[in-house]
Chains A and B, each alone.
Chain A
């Protein structure tokens, strides 16, 4: 079930009504059932997989909590089990293809056939949540003792399929509190996410797809439009999903962590990763980079840790070499960025210059350019296709394939509208006294919500594209 589908617009209000009308004691169970319905609406059999994984991790968590000599062993079993499942579903075909292409270089041989495994939705996200749970319990955290609470943590539908990757401590804390729905904020986030997804991301997808389907035929301007379109498509798509998830959670009285904080205005690459997919980057930091030694080791080791973390982060995004290249580029960029920061901090004049606005703007533009360049490898079908796009970017050719699609979609109007809303909301949240006199009554607010909902759907292209992060 997609957040932007009619099914969800029927499912969610029903769940919401049932949830708030039911007695408090039944609410968690009801939410759990709703979460499984949500998950199984796509492929019922994978509901069973989720259930088994939940049950296994719950048991392992309790075993680790016994704090005897074998708790590390149980942790290892839990982590290996989760990673094995992730690898089986996500990387089997990738390994077969790599194996085939590697052996194919040495002469003729019978290639191994691909398997017809279908990737369970959101497995990358809930596997990371399980690993975080087991590690934190092993580090001394209190395990979840109630199976329903644990199952709800794993299957909570607003964050089930594409995150944000939750921390169990925060979630359990909320389960113990009297939940109060944040109605206005919830609806605002739901509508904001819907507009981002259907009016912006889905229309930008048409533009990006037109370019990336045949990158070698593009001229420089067309290639640039396609790259920019994908840059904003992925942001609006993913942050739109997160907004809708967070909005839904708010209405149910829960709060989910924020995943994005204006990533494209980041002043450097480290800053970018503090603003982009925050829950993943913090997970990678806490459960991969720091256990590898983090920054508290030699310079070479620190850079190697950084590179390895980003490589694995790239591979997490998709079982393909171009994702690995994307991760490697970000890793290399981060190493250079750290080295440059160290150099700047040693030179006082340079440090002062970097604090001034013109250089900060230059730094942000440079970071954005690098991020866009990296997105090419992320979006392209293969590495050769990505290089083709880079070649088109610098070529002197002329084409209007992508430009024509751009002007045919209503995306430019949608972008202007979103910019106006963004500016207004920024002023509103930074300077509330300015709007002190402006109080809207409930019916007026309802009219505005309905108008935005209607506008978002009206802007949607006839064919909706799935959320990009569903494939990860």
Chain B
């Protein structure tokens, strides 16, 4: 049979075409390629979206081998809670605009150290005490230019602030260093509880030797540093610094954990109620016999072992010498760098607070350190203020920061050294 040329050609083409046997390799790879590609695109998209929407920007503390805790440099903090704030941590690890290391001539520079009250948790940079203080001082028309630097770090104790002063703050050549000493500061210098974790448990410990010298012990910090939590935080350092997805995930996990704890508590409460309704006798039988209250608190060097009021009162007695020694060392460090040192203090009215208040005043007068005592003036301002000065988590509201700054500025203006100092500052150092 003679075939037409076209048919012959078709036949040749068909026969010459290799058989399309699916290779095993292709079959294995193909199901993996698409999900991998989808995963990659999803991650990139989510990162992009979260960056634009400023989601997942609440992780801003990292472990630090010296101070225990530090703000993550160049990280944006966006907080959407009771208040809204979005701030950028500068390259020096300050929740503040970027200052120049070298001070301009004629500039009066004030470095403020402290915890989240100074850092300005939950408020914008322009709503922090440091911003209001700078604004207030510059508005007095003296011609003197003031610059305030915010060195506040959340959870910082006095000891950590001292280390930050030596490590960082003094290199900015401040003319004046202000340290915010919180009420019950003595409790802040007790041995850290490692089980409280990051950031509260991760800090060096200070103690005073018999000769009155201040010593730093890194034993607790190193023990924490070698622990699982520190390792995890260090290993995840890159993600915590750069990934918005990671930040958002952290917030979700935190919320879920809170929910689980709340649900568990509710469930326990429900069960105990149900059991009580069912058989009060059964519960009474199972309940341990109440212990007789001990007349004397246990003799322990750990103040946290003591209950409530006694705990802080004993803290003050036991640990104020450490507070005093740290403040003395801060003053000495400032003196060495030709900076003036002063303390901002707001005392509380409970028994321990009053004891600490007296000790603080006598310490300041003994050592001739300026104490900007805002205890009374802040109370007065709070009672006269129409706007709330505190958020529900005890941080200042923007109004609180403004009042706080105003009171500091007033006290500074009444201080003899401060009144004289600006006149000599026009000469560059």
Contacts and interface: CB of A to CB of B under 8 A. Distances in A.
Interface stretch (B31-39, B178-186, B209-217, B277-285): B31-39
Nearest to A461: B80
Interface of B: 31, 34-35, 38-39, 42, 45-46, 49-50, 52-56, 80-81, 84, 245, 248-249, 251-252, 255-256, 259-260, 263
Given A408-B80, A447-B35, A454-B46, 12 more contacts: A6-B256, A413-B52, A443-B31, A447-B42, A448-B42, A451-B42, A451-B45, A454-B252, A455-B46, A458-B248, A459-B55, A462-B81
A413 B78 CA distance: 15
A458 B80 contact: no
A444 B34 contact: yes
A459 B53 contact: yes
Nearest to B86: A408
Contact of B49 (A413, A443, A457, A461): A413
18 contacts: A408-B84, A410-B55, A417-B49, A441-B31, A441-B35, A443-B34, A444-B35, A447-B35, A447-B39, A448-B38, A451-B42, A451-B45, A454-B249, A454-B252, A458-B50, A458-B248, A459-B55, A462-B80
Range for the number of chain A residues in contact with chain B: 20 to 34
Nearest 5 CB-CB pairings of A with B: A410-B53, A458-B248, A413-B53, A443-B35, A408-B84
Contacts of B256: 6
Interface in A422-462: 440-441, 443-444, 447-448, 451, 454-455, 457-459, 461-462
A320 interface: no
A409 B84 CA distance: 9
Nearest to A458: B248
Main secondary structure of the interface of A (DSSP, over half): helix
A457 B252 contact: yes
B121 to A, nearest CB: 14
Nearest to B244: A458
A409 B80 contact: yes
A408 B39 CA distance: 30
Contacts of B45: 451
A373 interface: no
A455 B39 contact: no
A414 interface: yes
A106 B128 CA distance: 55
Interface string A370-412: 0000000000000000000000000000000000000011100
A414 B50 CA distance: 10
A417 B55 CA distance: 14
Contacts of B260: 6
A43 to B, nearest CB: 13
A194 to B, nearest CB: 13
Nearest to A7: B263
A313 to B, nearest CB: 37
Contacts of B42: 447-448, 451
Contact of B252 (A408, A413, A458): A458
Nearest to A441: B34
A380 B45 CA distance: 38
Nearest to B39: A447
A253 to B, nearest CB: 28
B84 to A, nearest CB: 4
Most buried by A among B50, B260, B263: B50
Most buried by B among A447, A458, A461: A458
A451 B53 contact: no
Contacts of B35: 441, 443-444, 447
B146 to A, nearest CB: 29
A451 B80 contact: no
Contacts of A444: 34-35, 38
Contact of B34 (A440, A455, A461): A440
A458 B38 contact: no
B246 to A, nearest CB: 11
Contacts of A447: 35, 38-39, 42
A457 B248 CA distance: 9
Contacts of B31: 441, 443
Contacts of B38: 440, 444, 447-448
A457 B245 CA distance: 12
Most buried by B among A6, A414, A447, A462: A447
Most buried by A among B31, B34, B56, B263: B34
A414 B54 CA distance: 12
A441 B34 CA distance: 8
A416 B56 CA distance: 19
Contacts of B84: 408
Contacts of A454: 46, 245, 248-249, 252
Nearest to A462: B81
Contact of A414 (B53, B56, B251, B263): B53
Contacts of A458: 50, 55-56, 248, 251-252
Given A413-B53, A444-B34, A444-B38, A451 B46 contact: yes
